[in-house]
Amino acid sequence: MASYSTSDFRKGLKVQIEGDPYLMIECNFVKPGKGQALYKCKLRNLIRGTVLDRTYKSGDALEAADIEEVAVQYLYRQGDQFIFMNNESYEQYELTVAQVDDAWKYLKEGMGCSMILFNENPLSLTPPNHVVLKVEYCEPGAKGNTASNVTKPVKVETGAEILCPSFVEIGEMIRVDTRTGEYIERVKE
Amino acid sequence: MKARRNLMWPTLLPSASAGDDFRPTATLEMLRFRAELLRRTRDFFDRRGFLEVETPVLSADTVVDRHLDPFEVEVGRSPLDTGKGGQATHAGRPYYLQTSPEFAMKRLLAAGAEAIYQIARAFRRDELGPLHNPEFTMVEWYRAGDDYDAGMTLLGELAETLFGRGPAERISYREAFEQFVGLDPHTARTDQIVAAVRDRRIDAPESLSPADRDSWLDLLLIDLVQPQLGRTRPVILYDYPAMQSALARVRDDGPRGKVSERFELYVDGIELANGYHELTDAEELVRRNVQTNLQRQLDGKRPLPSESRLLAAMNAGLPQSTGVAMGFDRVVMLAAGAKTLAEVMPFPFDRA
């Protein structure tokens, strides 16, 4: 397994500590003139999101985390499992609801997504920034009201609820920003 | 005097696109301010009758220090010359880029120079960060006849000249630890020092040996003491632990322990200068070098030459003196109110 020595330490390094992947978000070189060189680091756990303060001395090393980003396709849902396929290797990955997180709201069969793998296991999933979803159900809007500042919840084909302007109707297609969860526009088929 | 930092280079448009790293990181105005501080530094020493000297940057001798790693330089036939195979050394010896001009300047003292200063480049491996650049400018001076107190007085005067923040205050290493940590750094047992680090929830490297007393003291110094030093007036911290003497004399204070006659200047919590009431005993220097090299090998580092022309100079007779080395880039940084060395050097290491 590759490792980084302290002279490689820098912001953005992906390392492995006690089996978990971490991102080095800060690394301060500290050295009293006649003293030991120290690297005071802040590391974010890429699974739990927690931040760790760790101090290393020159000559210490951290294991590199085997992290890669791959293109995948969403295949289908099976109970609590979301099944994806690696576009290159055709390997399939099963993600739990917790791993998929908010992305389930936007997943349509056949959709291309990006997945982060840690030691070849899925760590996180990112859907495309913009997705088009079909409106399955909503309350009828006030006739002729085209103002976009009046909103209502709309249920889309994935089962998620998206806040839309009140003029959106059942059966229409809408474009949604997956980073914010916000409605962008109606789309004509 | 503060440098304003909004001045752009006249011929360059501000830009941050790729391929742009030919540009200096310091503004032209900052470089003017830097030049002004250089003039003021020279003026300070010239007025006091110091002689400005220049000594080799590349030398067969190097300071033997546990935590200083010099760049080793291949002299002689270039190893790139494939003709007869590279010859990496000159007369069988490696050469080093100086980590400070200390040895050569002391040889001048031993030869009869009385008061000398130098503004030189120094080089230290593996020291890179907002406050460290592997190549930096060092101001170093010695005055024969100066005792410990005279050396600190002179440093305090220079600090007043450069920063205009009043005369330097003095606080001993012991007083500082008693005040900011709550223990006597000279008489506390090592396990008590380790416990103080743990109590304060200061993260220590897992690989740090619980017996490495000086490194544990440093952890306390860095987090609890240094940030308190030089917040208004410059501060001189003096009487370091005897084990951290380097090339300073050791004084035996009886039941209060041994201390080294070594002092450092702090401004805004940042270490700027290191001074010694100089060790003049050649045999003691050999003992320390041997000890330091043993420690270096335990640390997994190569030993450095224990023998040097400085030893011969000390045997010939090094007069009592006090000497100080000061990091000039940091001085400029603090005097200008900057936060990083890159703001005060045109081309820091990543653009060198």
- Whether residues A74 and A96 share a domain: the answer is yes
- Whether residues A16 and A39 share a domain: the answer is yes
> Tokens at residue B205, please?
């490297």
Number of alpha helices (DSSP H) and beta strands (DSSP E) in chain B: 9, 12
Inform me whether the C-beta atom of residue B298 falls under 8 Å from chain A C-beta atoms. no
Q: What are phi and psi of B343, to 5 degrees?
A: -75, -15
The CATH number covering residue A76 comes to 2.40.50.140
Q: What is the pLDDT of residues B20-61, one digit of tens each?
A: 789 999 999 999 999 999 999 999 999 999 999 999 999 999
**Range B1-6 average pLDDT:** 46
- Whether residues A140 and A106 share a domain: the answer is no
Q: Which of A7, A29, A32 sits opposite B221 (nearest CB)?
A: A32
Cα dihedral: B93, B94, B100, B102 (round 10): -10
- Whether residues A9 and A59 share a domain: the answer is yes
- Whether residues A122 and A136 share a domain: the answer is no
Pairing mode, strands A51-57 and A61-64: unpaired
Contacts of B85 (CB under 8 A, 6+ apart): none
- Are residues A28 and B129, on separate chains, in Cβ contact within 8 Å? yes
Q: How far apart (Å, rounded) are the C-alpha atoms in residues A34 and A56? A: 17
Lowest mean pLDDT among A32-41, A110-119, B7-16: B7-16
Cβ contacts below 8 Å, chain A against chain B, sum to 70
Q: How far apart (Å, rounded) are the C-alpha atoms in residues B209 and B191? A: 11
Inform me whether the C-beta atom of residue A58 falls under 8 Å from chain B C-beta atoms. yes
Assign B1 a pLDDT band (cuts: 50, 70, 90).
Answer: very low
**Range B284-301 average pLDDT:** 94
- Closest chain B residue by Cα to residue A26: B129
Domain span at A32: 3-64
Single residue among A11, A41, A64 that ends a domain in this structure: A64
Q: Which of A34, A37, A55 sits opposite B65 (nearest CB)?
A: A34
- Whether residues A9 and A58 share a domain: the answer is yes
> Tokens at residue A28, please?
């301060």
Residue found under tokens 């010099």: B70
**B331: closest CA among B273, B291, B285, B274?**
B273
- Closest chain B residue by Cα to residue A55: B205
**A70: closest CA among A3, A10, A121, A25?**
A121
Inform me whether the C-beta atom of residue A54 falls under 8 Å from chain B C-beta atoms. yes
**Range B59-83 average pLDDT:** 82
CB of B266 within 8 A of CB of B234? Answer: yes
pLDDT at residue A9, as a whole number: 94
- Are residues A38 and B222, on separate chains, in Cβ contact within 8 Å? yes
pLDDT at residue A145, as a whole number: 63
- Are residues B127 and A29, on separate chains, in Cβ contact within 8 Å? yes
Residue B263: pLDDT above 50? yes
- Whether residues A108 and A136 share a domain: the answer is no
- Whether residues A43 and A72 share a domain: the answer is no
Residue B64 CA, distance from chain mean position: 13
Q: What is the pLDDT of residues B115-166, one digit of tens each?
A: 999 999 999 999 999 999 999 999 999 999 999 999 999 999 999 999 999 9
Q: How far apart (Å, rounded) are the C-alpha atoms in residues B36 and B180? A: 36
Domains of chain B: 28-168+233-351 (3.30.930.10)
Inform me whether the C-beta atom of residue B207 falls under 8 Å from chain A C-beta atoms. yes
Single residue among A126, A158, A177 that ends a domain in this structure: A126
Inform me whether the C-beta atom of residue B264 falls under 8 Å from chain A C-beta atoms. yes
Q: How far apart (Å, rounded) are the C-alpha atoms in residues B288 and B270? A: 28
Inform me whether the C-beta atom of residue A35 falls under 8 Å from chain B C-beta atoms. yes
- Whether residues A77 and A30 share a domain: the answer is no
Q: Which of B130, B207, B214 sits opposite A35 (nearest CB)?
A: B214
Q: With the C-alpha atoms ordered B134, B139, B145, B146, is the resulting torsion angle positive or negative?
A: negative
Q: With the C-alpha atoms ordered A133, A139, A144, A150, is the resulting torsion angle positive or negative?
A: negative
> Tokens at residue B257, please?
């322990």
Residue B79: pLDDT above 80? no
What ipTM was assigned to the predicted interfaces of this complex? 0.87
> Mean of the per-residue pLDDT values for chain B?
92
The CATH number covering residue A22 comes to 2.30.30.30
**A123: closest CA among A87, A98, A102, A105?**
A98
Assign B86 a pLDDT band (cuts: 50, 70, 90).
Answer: very low
Assign B181 a pLDDT band (cuts: 50, 70, 90).
Answer: very high
Single residue among A46, A64, A82 that ends a domain in this structure: A64
Assign B11 a pLDDT band (cuts: 50, 70, 90).
Answer: low
SS3 B342: helix
Number of domains in chain A: 3
Residue A99: pLDDT above 90? no
Assign B9 a pLDDT band (cuts: 50, 70, 90).
Answer: low
- Are residues A29 and B244, on separate chains, in Cβ contact within 8 Å? no
